[in-house]
Amino acid sequence: MIQTKLANILLGLAILLQFSLASLAFAQEESSETISLFNGKDLTGWYADVPDADDNPDIKPSFLVRDGKLVSMGVPRGHLISKKSFKDYRLEVEYRFAGEPGNCGVLVHTDGEKPRVLYDMFPASLEVQMQHGMAGDFWCIHQDIKVPNMESRRAGPKDNWGGKKGQSRHISNLTDDSEKPLGEWNKMVIECLGDKIRVWVNGDLVNDGYDCTASEGQISLQAEGAEVEFRKLELTPIKELTAAKDEAAADER
């Protein structure tokens, strides 16, 4: 009798262990799958932070969905912030300026609990610039990052580098010749892994930062003066960064 009970217990434990391992494997497989941050229909998964809407809740929206695309109208100025936080990922963004060229950006490692730390507008984050002619520049917003050749790519004296008002927050990209002509779709890839951030525009490596002071957070899109359309916002968890040559080859295919 005792042996039978013991055998049943061991069998039960074996089944439980097998089930647990299968569940873990499934969870790991599921966590590596690409997810779309935009469903093509509405702004589910996002919320807007627009300072001008504080006193005027009926103000026209800064962000909307039109013809299956997420559109940043440019004004009123503000940010569309993901409800979820992310770390160690590859973000693929396809965008274009629908009309006149202008300014916009993707903010990674956004701290939604610090939504207006700079100029009563910008959340704590690391901005990857989309401004026409400057795609891939970094702007530090209460965060900071290092890049190779920092002295030639960051204005001002070294002791004034930082991410706060009055500090030198801008880090130029490696090339300004990566964007498509106005009206055509651009592909921006941002990889964040630990304290590193690597950026490509249309297959060209345009920035490669390290020692970022943040390693996770929400993702934000800007409304900063120009109308911009987004047709793709896809995120894939990663365990290593893509080599520059591999991304360029993939973009050519």
Check whether 21 has a pLDDT greater than 50. no
What is the DSSP code string of 193-227? ETTEEEEEETTEEEEEEB--S--EEEEEEEESSS-
pLDDT tier, 98 (very low <50, low <70, confident <90, very high otherwise): confident
**pLDDT, position 250:** 62
**pLDDT, position 107:** 99
Euclidean distance between CA atoms 88 and 199, whole angstroms: 14
pLDDT tier, 18 (very low <50, low <70, confident <90, very high otherwise): low
Question: Residue 150: which of 103, 194, 208, 104 has the closest Cα?
Answer: 208
Residue range 212-222: mean pLDDT, rounded: 99
Start-to-end CA span in the chain (Å) = 67
Euclidean distance between CA atoms 89 and 236, whole angstroms: 5
Query: Greater confidence, 150 or 99?
Result: 150
β strands within 83-203, DSSP E: 86-87, 89-97, 105-110, 125-129, 138-141, 170-171, 186-193, 196-201
Check whether 10 has a pLDDT greater than 60. no
The rounded mean pLDDT for the chain is 90
Exposure pattern of 131-146 as b/e (b: 16+ CB <10 Å)? bbebbbbbbbbbbbbe
pLDDT tier, 24 (very low <50, low <70, confident <90, very high otherwise): very low
Token code pair at residue 235: 């995120």
Amino acid at 152: S
Euclidean distance between CA atoms 93 and 231, whole angstroms: 8
Euclidean distance between CA atoms 219 and 86, whole angstroms: 8
**pLDDT, position 26:** 40
Tell me the backbone φ, ψ of residue 149, rounded to 5 degrees: 55, 40
Percent of the chain with pLDDT over 70: 85
Residue-wise pLDDT for 45-84, tens only, equals 999 999 999 999 999 999 999 999 999 999 999 999 999 9
* Pair 225, 103: CB distance under 8 Å: yes
Alpha helices in 36-180 (DSSP H): 150-153
Residue pointed to by tokens 């973000």 = 91
Percent of the chain with pLDDT over 90: 81
Euclidean distance between CA atoms 188 and 91, whole angstroms: 8
